[in-house]
Chain A
């Protein structure tokens, strides 16, 4: 560069710093339709379109694949099967088991068997329907019980615990057992899976994908194409929603597009139509869990046995860590006494279930609340009373079943705050009165807590990198390993960089995530995007600030004061000696100071030993409390969620508006998981809730008429980025209060003596069934009976699952 551009006028005030509600960085483009997603990118010349052909049975050996009709179909350019893959045929993210296309056998209904390339999207999709795949069918395993019968596991079982729960439970005066079937969940990101592969010189490949994990896409594309990683570049600007569904599930489509692009030396776009997307991508794991719990006359838990069974589908994918996280969260915020926690990873002939907001945590945590409800009904206590009596603390215990000490527990004070703010006890009375006078419609109320562990439980993923450039006009470009899926990560990152340099956020550009800028990144998952990448960006900014401070101090002849240079309001200086940030940048350039650097971060304090099931898997916990009031119709099972009050802990919020948006959105998504979102497979193993007409996520009318969300506002005691806390996943589990409130309303039919069995999702049909069985139990027991529903529940032992199958414990 010979001559610099004129230094721009700096605005004196700097907006968009941390702890303010800055707008989402893309909001203005999003409302104008000018925010581009992969399918919106201007296509390279001669782009072709791919589609996948799917299996029509759930299990068996492939004896023949006849693709002649596919090849003959209008517009078809190329057709590939697994035999056409030059490199790795298996794209399993952690463990093997996920062939790019079916490899000799069919493992689930709808498994992609071949891919076709054609001149238009419609022609490709039409051709994909014409394949003839002959399969020597075998009996598919579709249920948890069948998987146990056949000892079909995708990974070894795990266990951890404290003390000797068996002895306590066998000798306990009070104990209850229960089971719960927990439905899965379709991610239903509004933007479906899509990748664009653009071949470059020789064997190089550029990929534009909607993925939460560009580095893994890069690795898998390189392996499939049999080239080194440095020949593949992956670019990810934004996703139209991810929720975990694009953590591992995006790679397959990128790899298939890349394979076809490499063979044909043409740009290839593969975008899945919605129903194909729903058949071929994994979902939240359904679980089938059981517990036995002993407690004293005050409802205080003395011992717990818990078994969680994750229904994993055909391959491991991320299920090992997902079932681990379910196990880590069966305590939620409660001390479980002596404990034995067992987790199985069941193999079924279904699509391989995968990451989804909460990552197994919700399916574990709901068990804690199921236990509490059952104890409360048994003991004749209000569930909130039982909740409070069992929280971690001095009067109970502070060690989790996996041996981690709970510090900085916010739940006692947060519950008290919400109890008061939302008037729990008054409303409890009002509801009792309402129910007495309303024979058909019944109301229910529940206040439940959330304690969610923050960190990847796979320790090595807790690292992040950043790349920060300052250009000579003082504008800053920030790149980091995290991906933007709507959660506001780039907005927060921009705020962090603006805050560090003391400049306006309009001077910061956070670019698309690219594997050639920051290498070897972790997925944007585990709520960790801001925690990890924010710190990495901050570290890069600190490095640059040190260089600039030294440059500034030198200019004013006070080298020794470099430590005291401050960056604020668009200026750099010490006391009254200051210059604008952009002037200093120009000066630094002429002084030959490097204006670009990387940053790196690794989460401290993590030490968990999976072999012994002891240690600290989490840097800290995020907390939340929610209270839901519902109305149910005892004739139809229909219900409404009438009021929701939430207090949630995000530490010292980096951006309150974005954090509240995450909490509200997560709550409604969690409510959908527990209520209307009903995944159904038929007896052949085919998903029949395969589109938005048959799978119902919450619509606008499902938003509670009264929906109050408040941030708790206490800063994170751990040294996280500006003492904020992760927010992506924890509030999802606040929705468990809806499920408990539905049960509360049903329980009112028994005078709160019966804890109804309400497997999830609690569709109107399941609610009506629970109503009917509660009424029948009351009829058969007589209305004065204090019976509870132990009689109709299987114990953990009766599920025929025992610790013999456990290894690694």
Chain B
């Protein structure tokens, strides 16, 4: 059984297809048509809905935007699903709706419900809001008509004057209903086709019982299998209820991130310890995707253009895998074995990723190059982690995306640079020469091979410039760190 609230109404589902999307559920089952399909791939945000989820002790609600077109029903279990039809209070528009009307922020109106939901979530999550917060919150919503200016202004204005709305006034009763849902019934969570284990033992059993079923966490990539390729998927094992895969802790020497913890939720810890990853983390798809997608998923699908693997490679992370009986640690350098292939055995899953802290001699930078800054896939991604002791390069770790069939490292860069004085300009040309020839990338829709190689080399130049001790030079047109 999957239990959740649609606004204030309690709903149970026990017979849905595994690959039923939340958008199909809303439009085709509930016949509510305010939520739109623009792309069915999580790229436009016209389908954005909000889920409110209780914290651990049911004392508050957290509002999260999702792309309903690529979200499975498992994602709403135990939560309150809110879509655009729920926002008005009778004939009174919600403040975010009124603001968008007042600022002339809708033209054709097709993207509007999605924007409204993103504005609504921001209204409920941020106390003070600046322009960057607005851009971040609305980064997953495309509008083809307005040029966004009135939407930005409307969002800034309405978030400046936050007041209670029907949702905040109903918090106690919503939490009460969610608590009831979470405790009632002894039946299995999930459905026959959408299995939702709650601990490693039941996860191991689910895998054993359904050897061909795929594991799914945020579903932001897997969903494309059925929304774009139109394949039928009979059975899925969802990790969305696996609390033990959502840890985020530190040891004396490392950060340990649970595999099924959404990128959005691990961002504070990640950036606290690795602020240099800001460019990658803040440009990881869009907010609604980060609200769902997980680090484990980003690693497990082993895409050569995933945003995080290059960083994990450069940081010498360890992939902690489990099969319910035995855990083992795989160095990330050994994890990606081929195009979208990993070292995971069929009965294993990724439990966590451990990232060792930097020492004081390590300089880290992460660069992502794409056609568009927001919500784009990198043509090239480069993460450099260089140990410099008393001016001498001791070690070079680097991870790259978009240049090979897998996320890649580059040992020859280390070999070329180790022992050199970092301030020596020769380091620039040495590194560039290595990187120009280190990979044989391909021409594709995002870039040519030539551009990829040139930029890879130039990013080393950028790293060198940025890490000179006396530099004040501007080296980027946008600064995310």
Contact = CB atoms under 8 A, between A and B. Distances in A.
The answer to whether A binds B is yes
Interface of A: 21, 23-24, 26-37, 39-40, 122, 125-126, 129, 187-192, 238-243, 273-275, 438-441, 485-488, 631-633, 635-640, 657-658, 660-661, 664-669, 676, 678, 680, 688-689, 691-694, 696-703, 705, 707, 763-765, 768-769, 772
Grouping DSSP codes into helix (H, G, I), strand (E, B) and loop, the B interface class, with mixed when no group exceeds half, is loop
Interface in B448-481: 448, 451, 454-455, 458-459, 461-462, 465, 473-478
Given A633-B477, A669-B147, A705-B131, A191 B110 contact: yes
Contacts of B109: 24, 26-27, 29-30, 35, 238, 240, 486
A765 B374 contact: no
A274 B38 contact: yes
A441 B477 CA distance: 7
Contacts of A485: 108
Nearest to A689: B445
12 contacts: A21-B104, A33-B113, A125-B230, A438-B474, A661-B145, A665-B146, A694-B377, A701-B373, A701-B374, A703-B149, A768-B454, A772-B454
Contacts of A487: 107
Grouping DSSP codes into helix (H, G, I), strand (E, B) and loop, the A interface class, with mixed when no group exceeds half, is loop
A241 B143 CA distance: 10
B230 A129 contact: yes
Contact of B477 (A29, A632, A703): A632
Interface centre among B33, B35, B134 (most CB of A within 10 A): B33
Given A28-B93, A240-B36, A274-B39, A694 B446 contact: yes
Contact of B106 (A30, A129, A441, A702): A30
Given A30-B113, A32-B93, 6 more contacts: A36-B33, A191-B38, A438-B474, A665-B146, A678-B371, A694-B446
A274 B41 contact: yes
B40 interface: yes
Contacts of B376: 696
Interface string B131-169: 100110011011111111111100000000000000000
B62 to A, nearest CB: 23
B310 to A, nearest CB: 16
A229 to B, nearest CB: 28
A517 B457 CA distance: 64
Nearest to A488: B107
What are the nearest 9 A-B pairs in CB distance? A33-B34, A486-B108, A240-B110, A30-B109, A668-B147, A692-B43, A486-B107, A33-B84, A40-B33
Given A24-B107, A26-B109, A693 B369 contact: no
Nearest to B116: A31
B97 interface: yes
B151 A240 contact: no
A777 B360 CA distance: 43
Interface in B357-384: 369-377, 379
A242 B230 CA distance: 27
Nearest to A690: B445
Contacts of A633: 475-477
A635 B458 contact: yes
A686 to B, nearest CB: 11
Contact of A440 (B32, B143, B465): B465
Contacts of B83: 33
A700 B104 contact: no
A37 B36 contact: yes
Nearest to A639: B477
Interface centre among A39, A640, A701 (most CB of B within 10 A): A701
A676 B369 CA distance: 13
B87 interface: yes
A631 B43 CA distance: 27
A775 to B, nearest CB: 12
Contacts of B110: 37, 189-191, 240-241, 486
Contact of A31 (B44, B100, B138): B100
B451 A765 contact: yes
A804 to B, nearest CB: 36
B131 A691 contact: no
Contact of B44 (A190, A657, A658): A190
Contacts of B151: 700
B26 to A, nearest CB: 10
A276 B377 CA distance: 21
Contact of B84 (A32, A636, A676): A32
B447 interface: yes
A487 B109 CA distance: 10
A136 B101 CA distance: 56
A529 to B, nearest CB: 13
Contacts of B370: 764
A640 B373 CA distance: 9
Contacts, number: 254
B228 interface: yes
A702 to B, nearest CB: 7
A133 B14 CA distance: 41
B148 A768 contact: no
Contacts of A122: 230
A665 B375 contact: no
Interface of B: 32-41, 43-44, 46, 83-85, 87-88, 93, 97-98, 100-102, 104, 106-113, 116, 131, 134-135, 138-139, 141-152, 228, 230, 232, 369-377, 379, 444-448, 451, 454-455, 458-459, 461-462, 465, 473-478
B19 to A, nearest CB: 9
Contacts of A631: 477
Given A241-B145, A703-B149, A24 B465 contact: no
Contacts of A34: 34, 85
Nearest to A434: B474
Nearest to B101: A27
Contacts of A27: 100-101, 104, 106, 109
B104 A439 contact: no
A32 B138 contact: no
A119 B477 CA distance: 52
Nearest to A187: B144
A53 to B, nearest CB: 13
A40 B444 CA distance: 37
B46 to A, nearest CB: 6
Contacts of B35: 33
Contacts of A678: 371, 445
A187 B38 CA distance: 13
B471 to A, nearest CB: 11
Nearest to A441: B474
B148 A703 contact: yes
Given A33-B85, A700-B135, A693 B43 contact: yes
Interface centre among A33, A191, A668 (most CB of B within 10 A): A33
B93 A31 contact: yes
A661 B44 contact: no
A697 B106 contact: no
Nearest to B35: A33
B144 A188 contact: yes
A636 B458 contact: yes
Contacts of B144: 187-190, 241, 243, 665, 669, 697
B93 A665 contact: no
Given A26-B109, A438-B473, A768-B451, A190 B46 contact: yes
A640 B108 contact: no
Nearest to A769: B451
A661 B477 contact: no
Nearest to A30: B109
A485 B41 CA distance: 24
B353 to A, nearest CB: 25
Given A191-B38, A440-B465, A661-B107, A640 B142 contact: no
B116 A664 contact: no
A129 B145 CA distance: 33
